[in-house]
Structure 1
Amino acid sequence: MEGPVRILGPSVLNRRLLLLHSTPSLSRRTAAVPHPPRILSLSQTPSPRPSIFFPLSLSASHLSTPITSSFNHDSSSYPFTPTSETAHLSWHRAPFPGSGSTPPLWGHRKDCEVTVVLLGWLGAREKHLRRYIEWYNSRGFNAVTFVVGVRELLWFDLGVRVENRIRGLTEELVSWVSGREDDGRERGLLFHSFSNTGWLVYGSFLERLQGRQDLLEKIKGCVVDSGGGDPLNPKVWAAGFSAALLKKQSSSASPATDPKNSQEFEDDVNLMKMQGNEMSMIESTLLSSLEKLFSYVLKLPDVERKLENIVNILLKNQPLCPQLYLYSTADKVVPSQSIELQMEAQRSMGRRVFSFNFRTSPHVDHFRTFPEQYLSVIEGFLKECLVIVKQN
């Protein structure tokens, strides 16, 4: 059996990265957008596979382990039985619909009960996904959240725990979706991933389902928020880790300012001059160190082979369900051009791809910046996914 490949150990980081001291939080204003973002495309061209990044620990046994679970299909109160591998999964069951429900209950249908799987960005916590959970619950969707902390990849087990958690997630979702509701209805899944981290977790999930067409057909749609581009580019990896480490102090968290509002633009410039010099020097050094690190790591034979396998699945073996890409020209982590290239590649394969460019919002910040527009696009996409559910 091939041993796990340890990638991001403390010793490596100590040699390659600066030890960051605490710095005051940068106060920042979110610029008001005078006009809504325009749709780049919300076309109905077919869509299916993205690409991936994720140097989790690599073990041949992980690829061949059969999907099993102790999940009890008859449990209606709490569908997942917590284990060491699923302890970090959070299940949020939608309230049972009343007779006078106003919003359309897309997740609670006469023919199918749908659960949305929210795959967070690197460093996200469940509290960051709360608004997404509440909105999906209000539309009749059960919600499952899965997040990956920076320390899970950098310290101690060096990614082994994340790999095990993805396996646990897969087993539990397979157990749930393979069963039926008490009233006989089938079950389906909808994935909503954030950044390349969530997108690659989705790819790892699909990797474990290869050869199970019956299960892949139960995936009704996939939303890719701020991800799906340049998965093997060391600069993208470096930008993602830097953003996760620096959090709100990262320049990638800064919204684009509309120069039409001259006073606000001038204030922001002055603010950046006063507070940004020190952080920009730290961030620049960190990015440079991380880029060198990932230029080496991503070329390790086992890592490269693992990533290529997942990329190939995301490109050629995704389920035939609609995909929605939510992105922004102002994204400083995953370049918008790389996401657009990915979308075009999927369309050229006859896949149904939908997209929306928010233009000025930062990485994984589209919902907070444009809440009404974001939910409107999601709702329109759900209609497309439910058409597929009905046809199936």
Structure 2
Amino acid sequence: MEVSVRLLTFAVSPRPLLRLPRRPHINAPRRTLPSLVLPRNPNPRYGPFPFRTISPFLSISSSPPLTDPSAVSSAPSLTINGGHEGITGFRAELGEAWMVVLLGWLGAEAKHLKRYAELYERKGIAAVRFVVPVKETLGFDLGRRVEEKVGRLSNELVDWCLDVERSGKVPRLIFHTFSNTGWLAYGEILNSLQLRNDILQKIKGCIFDSGAAPEIDPQIWAAGFSAALLKKQSSPAYVSAESTEGKFDGDMSKSRMQPNRPNLCETTLLSILEKFFAIILKMPSVNKRLTKVISILSEKQPFCPQLYLYSSSDKVIPVGSIESFIKKQKALGRIVHAHDFVSSPHVDHFRSFPHIYSSKVDEFLEECCSAPVC
């Protein structure tokens, strides 16, 4: 069951968050954030899901702009699978409530994360889908709007944990990130929780799909933005015939990959973006923020299991960067698991190898459950 949560403006102080009344329903076309209209929660505080004010990143490219940026919309803005106790209550017999936070790749939409949410939903784990539009990252504020929204999500995660504890259960969090965008969003969440060790202890595991490149490299950023702008899985990359047709095949091999040569438009865009990020990433304010977040991801991740799902054929995030980061995490004594899909493109491992991907997630969840409590 999916429920919707209202979009509220971000308060300066993280708690308490301001409640505003819903606007009366009007039978007219929506001119706010485009989103699926879902059933209203009859008991918004404790069930089926106690999130009250989350405002995630949903693409607004198809919507006319709001006349007042501070206006409050009653349109649903967060897609949640499951609820306060999950679908069937994963490990509910032990008094636990589990939730996974899916942090999408740049340019992803909530619908793109639906199949990933279902991986957890079938086990009784509630799932939150959180995505970042390209325009919010490339805005004149140089990503500060994104940073604020991630901070808002962090506040709501804290609220969720406290609400679960007040209901007599033990909250458990899993993060599942995609590409460097999701990875950095996770780092920003950890940054905001540095003084909340009680909440950090609730994090039982993190899955990194096609991510963990700690270098502040203009080429990596250009490749990621190019892929998002051109709606391609890898740019430039090799894309499987099965992937482009939307089919699933767990026996795909490199010999069946189809070359996807960059055209003039893509080559030009990559060149422009590389020059752009060569300047932006050296700006003191931007570089300082990124360096801080990457430092936390490198040295201050929670002592919980980590799973890296990547591919040697990824043309957006260099495989060498991911494998080097994995070695450093192991050297720090972290519990690290990894799987190289070899032939699948960037953030396309699940679509290319659904059975292997699902089994890796299932095995990792078992690892998270058996890991010592911090």
Deviation at 1:96, TM superposition (A): 6.4
Name which of 229, 247, 255 aligns with 2:240. 255
Aligned to 2:23: none
Aligned pair count reads 311
Name which of 39, 62, 77 aligns with 2:48. 77
Give the counterpart letter for 1:120 in structure 2.
G
**CA distance in 1 between partners of 2:279 and 2:291 (Å):** 16
**Correspondence 1:252-291 to 2 at 5 A:** 252=237, 254-255=239-240, 258=253, 260=255, 268=258, 280-291=263-274
Q: In the alignment, does 2:219 pair up with 1:235?
A: yes
Give the counterpart letter for 1:332 in structure 2.
K
Name which of 115, 119, 143 aligns with 2:103. 119
Matched-pair identity in %: 45
The SS at the match of 2:211 is coil
The 10-residue stretch of structure 1 (81-90 or 379-388) with the greater mean CA deviation from structure 2? 81-90
Task: Give the 3 Å change call, closer, same or farther, for CA 258–375 of structure 1 in structure 2.
Answer: closer
**CA distance in 1 between partners of 2:270 and 2:92 (Å):** 45
**CA distance in 1 between partners of 2:127 and 2:206 (Å):** 14
Q: In the alignment, does 2:125 pair up with 1:141?
A: yes
In structure 2, stretches of 5+ residues that fail to align are 1-9, 20-42, 58-75, 242-251
> Would you say the 8 A contact 2:48–2:83 is kept in 1?
no
Task: Give the 3 Å change call, closer, same or farther, for CA 160–107 of structure 1 in structure 2.
Answer: farther
**CA distance in 2 between partners of 1:387 and 1:370 (Å):** 26
Name which of 318, 338, 342 aligns with 1:355. 338
> Would you say the 8 A contact 1:69–1:175 is kept in 2?
no
Aligned to 2:135: 151
Answer 1 or 2: which has greater helix percent. 1
**CA distance in 1 between partners of 2:85 and 2:214 (Å):** 41
Aligned to 1:318: 301
Name which of 340, 343, 347 aligns with 1:364. 347
> Would you say the 8 A contact 2:101–2:173 is kept in 1?
yes
Deviation at 1:107, TM superposition (A): 5.7
Deviations 1:198-233 (A, max 9, x none): 000000000001122111111000000000014411
> Would you say the 8 A contact 1:243–1:253 is kept in 2?
no
Name which of 89, 93, 112 aligns with 2:78. 89
Give the counterpart letter for 1:209 in structure 2.
L
Aligned to 2:277: 294
**Correspondence 1:192-231 to 2 at 5 A:** 192-231=176-215
Relative contact order: is structure 1 or structure 2 higher (C-alpha 8 Å, sep ≥ 6)? 1
> Would you say the 8 A contact 2:84–2:164 is kept in 1?
no
Aligned to 2:22: none
The SS at the match of 1:356 is strand
The SS at the match of 1:221 is strand
Deviation at 1:312, TM superposition (A): 1.2
> Would you say the 8 A contact 2:212–2:322 is kept in 1?
yes
Task: Give the 3 Å change call, closer, same or farther, for CA 211–376 of structure 1 in structure 2.
Answer: same
Deviations 1:247-267 (A, max 9, x none): 138433613984656xxx7xx
Task: Give the 3 Å change call, closer, same or farther, for CA 298–211 of structure 1 in structure 2.
Answer: same
**CA distance in 2 between partners of 1:109 and 1:234 (Å):** 49
Task: Give the 3 Å change call, closer, same or farther, for CA 324–85 of structure 1 in structure 2.
Answer: closer
Give the counterpart letter for 2:151 in structure 1.
R
The SS at the match of 1:247 is coil
> Would you say the 8 A contact 2:86–2:97 is kept in 1?
no
**CA distance in 2 between partners of 1:107 and 1:253 (Å):** 41
Deviations 1:50-84 (A, max 9, x none): xxxxxxxxxxxx9xx76424399942133111366
Task: Give the 3 Å change call, closer, same or farther, for CA 140–108 of structure 1 in structure 2.
Answer: farther
Deviation at 1:179, TM superposition (A): 2.9
Name which of 150, 163, 169 aligns with 1:185. 169
Name which of 134, 149, 152 aligns with 1:165. 149
The SS at the match of 2:304 is coil
Deviation at 1:289, TM superposition (A): 1.0
The SS at the match of 1:341 is helix
In structure 1, stretches of 5+ residues that fail to align are 1-61
Task: Give the 3 Å change call, closer, same or farther, for CA 325–175 of structure 1 in structure 2.
Answer: same
Deviations 1:257-282 (A, max 9, x none): 84656xxx7xx46xx6xxx5xx5211
Task: Give the 3 Å change call, closer, same or farther, for CA 296–388 of structure 1 in structure 2.
Answer: same
**CA distance in 1 between partners of 2:154 and 2:254 (Å):** 46
